[in-house]
Structure 1
């Protein structure tokens, strides 16, 4: 199904958000790690394939890509990456009604207010892409 042709206005909104998140001050490597991890959680093979390829082009190592599903047990992710991944998992899995204060405070140790908002938008954007790709039957 060519959903870009069927709903160009809806897909334009998605692409406009994508353009915004690409311009954020969040490091591109961090953005790709978030996209891979969220796509792993959601089981979106299409997005996992796309974003692991993008991460490799940025110089990401195989070890860091392969270990993303166990990032919290690895010492080769930076504190900034770890807190971004923790926030990504929290928002994707929605275990509580809000981000816990201690997580928010740890995120703010590495990211300013604007970056926090941008992180939330990046996380929500990849969740939306995952759901679109899965619903439309996209495969790598």
Structure 2
């Protein structure tokens, strides 16, 4: 499979919005470590190799435990995640699937304020958008080349 178009080069104007959103999220009330877990889980669901490579490297560089990353796909069956993280992961999965059951909403509302929940939803939406770009305009040669912290 070959790269289709270099969307990062050809779509700079469009991508500015995503970069601004990312900058906003870094300043949000949601911990960066939690956003990275959400980014990883959504990228697993969507099958985005580039994003998985990127976010796993960033997570490890920021002190995330490797065991948690190795078992993230089965987070429900592990003891490694807090109630807040579990609520965020369930929310991320539901929003990604475009179906948010009442029990998932109730669980996330126990852990997050309204403002935090809006920011968490923005984080889920943003990584879904990045996944879509990377999958649509695939660049297999780029997978594995990311260096932790490369994009700030």
| TM-score normalized with structure 1 length | 0.92
Partner residue of 1:79? 83
Runs of 4 or more off by more than 6 Å in structure 1?
none
* Runs of at least 5 residues in structure 1 that lack an aligned partner in the other structure: none
**Greater relative contact order (Cα 8 A, min sep 6): structure 1 or 2?**
2
Task: Give the secondary-structure state (helix, strand or coil) at the position aligned to 1:132.
Answer: helix
Measured in 1, the distance between the counterparts of 2:8 and 2:74 equals 35
1:55 corresponds to 2:59? yes
Q: Identify which range, 17-26 or 127-136, moves more after superposition.
A: 17-26
Q: Which residue of 2 aligns with 1:134?
A: 135
Matched, 1:39 2:43: yes
Question: What are the Cα deviations for residues 59-118 of structure 1, in whole angstroms up to 9, with x where unaligned?
Answer: 111110000000001111000000100011111122x3xx22222121111110000000
Give the C-alpha shift of residue 119 in structure 1: 0.5
RMSD: 1.2
Equivalent residue in structure 1 for 2:27, among 4, 23, 46: 23
Give me the whole-angstrom Cα distance separating, in 2, the residues matched to 1:38 and 1:122: 10
Hey, what's the Cα distance between the residues in 2 that align with 1:5 and 1:70?
36
State how far apart, in whole Å, the 2-side matches of 1:75 and 1:114 are: 28
- Of 3-12 and 35-44, more deviation after overlay is shown by 3-12
Match of 1:10 in 2: 14
**Separation of aligned partners in 2, 1:112 and 1:77:** 19
Structure 2: 5+ residue stretches without partners:
144-152
Q: CA deviation at 1:135?
A: 1.0
Q: How many residues align?
A: 137
Cα deviation, residue 13, structure 1: 1.2
Q: Which residue of structure 2 lines up, in the alignment, with residue 114 of structure 1?
A: 115
